[in-house]
C-alpha cells in the first residue's frame, strides 16, 4: 500500500529539516502543507525552506502560485492528492510537512463543499477588519453566528473572517456546511509531530524573526503592498509591518509584536494538532525516522 508520512508541529520546531531527512531516507519528495509558502512573492516572512534544502529533495506546493491567486483548503486537498499520486508513481512513500492543520486535515479526511464567496463580500470584510480590528471581528461573529463562535478559534482572524464570508454570502452559519463526514483514503497515513520545550521554541522563534529582518522582511512587505488585503498577508509577520508602514507603531515595536504573535500562533498550532490523537509526538524529532521505518517495514 502507498504511504504518506506527515511531519507536523508548530512553527520553528525543526519540521523542515526532519522532513527532508525522512524524504532522503526513502529517496522521495516532500509535499508542503503550509498555506503561505506556496506564494512566489513572499519567502522571507513565510520562512520557506532554503534554496539548498529545496535542492536536497524535490518539494511540491512551494512557489507554486502567485499572490494574486486565492488558495484554500479545498483546493489544497485536490492539489496534494495529485502531488501524492505523482510521487507514488515511482515510490511507495511520500512525505508531507507543514504547520497548517486545516490543510493536513483536508488531505487526510477530505473537505466539505463550501459555498463560493463573491469577491466583493471578501474584500468588504477584510477592509472593515483592517479599519476596526480584531474586537470588531470577534463581536460581529459572536452576534451574527453565536453557534460557530462558541467553539471557534476566537483569536484567529482567518477563521472568523471565513465564518462571516459564508454568513454574508448565504445567510447560513458555516457550521451548516460542515457534515463531519471523513473520507476514507486508500493509502496509509502515518502522523508524526515535532515538539520542543517551550523556552527552546520561543528562542527559536525570536532568532528566526531577527533573521527575517536581517534578510529583508521590510523590503519584501513593501513589494506586496498592493496585495495587502490578500488572506495570505493577513498573517503574522506581514500585518505588523503594515502597521509600521502605516505609522501606527515603531519598527522595534513591529519586530517585538511579530515575535509575540508568532509564539501565540505556535501555541494555537500545538492545540490544533494535539486534538488529533492520531499524531505521535517526538521532542526535537528524536526517534521519528527509526519509528517510521519500523512502521513501514521498509529496509532502505
Cite the annotated binding site for ATP by residue number.
9-16
Q: How far is CA 294 from CA 203, 219, 291, in A?
A: 33, 46, 5
164-173: Cβ within 8 A, 24+ apart: 164/125, 164/137, 164/140, 165/117, 165/121, 165/122, 165/125, 166/114, 166/115, 166/117, 168/121, 168/125, 169/115, 169/116, 169/117, 169/118, 169/121, 170/115, 173/145, 173/147, 173/148
Annotated binding site for substrate: 11-16
Q: How far is CA 170 from CA 18, 73, 119, 166, 167, in A?
A: 43, 19, 14, 6, 5
Cβ count near 195 (within 10 Å): 20
Distance CA 127, CA 246 (A): 15
Q: Is 138 exposed, middle or buried (0-12, 13-18, 19+ CB in 10 A)?
A: middle
What are the residues facing 30 on neighbouring strands?
59, 95
Q: Give the residue carrying C-alpha cell 520561543.
A: 202
Distance CA 251, CA 259 (A): 13
Q: How far is CA 184 from CA 77, 102, 111, 165, 181, in A?
A: 14, 17, 12, 29, 9
Annotated binding site: 9-16
Distance CA 23, CA 57 (A): 7
Amino acid at each position: 500500500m502507498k504511504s504518506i508520512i506527515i511531519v507536523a508541529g508548530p512553527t520553528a520546531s525543526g519540521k523542515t529539516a526532519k522532513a527532508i531527512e525522512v524524504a532522503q531516507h526513502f529517496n522521495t519528495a516532500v509535499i508542503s502543507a503550509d498555506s503561505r509558502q506556496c506564494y512566489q512573492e513572499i519567502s522571507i516572512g513565510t520562512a520557506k525552506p532554503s534554496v539548498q534544502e529545496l535542492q536536497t529533495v524535490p518539494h511540491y506546493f512551494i512557489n507554486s502560485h502567485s499572490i494574486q491567486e486565492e488558495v484554500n483548503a479545498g483546493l489544497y486537498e485536490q492539489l496534494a492528492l495529485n502531488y501524492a499520486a505523482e510521487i507514488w508513481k515511482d515510490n511507495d512513500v511520500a512525505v508531507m510537512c507543514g504547520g497548517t492543520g486545516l490543510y493536513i486535515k483536508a488531505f487526510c479526511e477530505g473537505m466539505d463543499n463550501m459555498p463560493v464567496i463573491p469577491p466583493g463580500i471578501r474584500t468588504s470584510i477584510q477592509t472593515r477588519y483592517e479599519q476596526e480590528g480584531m474586537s470588531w471581528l470577534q463581536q460581529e461573529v459572536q452576534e451574527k453566528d453565536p453557534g460557530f463562535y462558541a467553539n471557534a478559534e476566537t483569536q484567529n482572524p482567518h477563521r472568523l473572517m471565513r465564518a462571516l464570508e459564508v454568513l454574508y454570502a448565504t445567510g447560513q452559519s458555516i457550521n451548516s456546511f460542515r457534515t463531519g463526514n471523513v473520507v476514507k483514503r486508500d493509502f496509509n497515513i502515518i502522523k508524526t509531530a515535532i515538539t520542543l520545550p517551550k523556552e527552546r521554541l520561543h528562542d527559536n522563534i525570536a532568532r528566526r524573526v531577527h533573521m527575517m529582518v536581517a534578510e529583508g522582511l521590510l523590503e519584501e512587505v513593501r513589494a506586496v503592498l498592493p496585495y495587502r488585503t490578500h488572506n495570505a498577508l493577513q498573517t503574522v509577520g506581514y500585518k505588523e509591518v503594515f502597521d509600521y508602514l502605516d505609522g501606527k507603531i515603531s519598527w522595534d515595536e513591529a519586530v517585538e509584536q511579530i515575535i509575540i504573535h508568532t509564539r501565540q500562533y505556535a501555541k494555537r498550532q500545538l492545540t490544533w494538532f494535539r486534538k488529533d490523537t492520531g499524531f505521535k509526538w517526538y521532542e526535537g524529532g528524536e526517534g521519528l525516522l527509526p519509528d517510521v521505518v519500523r512502521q513501514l517495514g521498509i529496509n532502505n
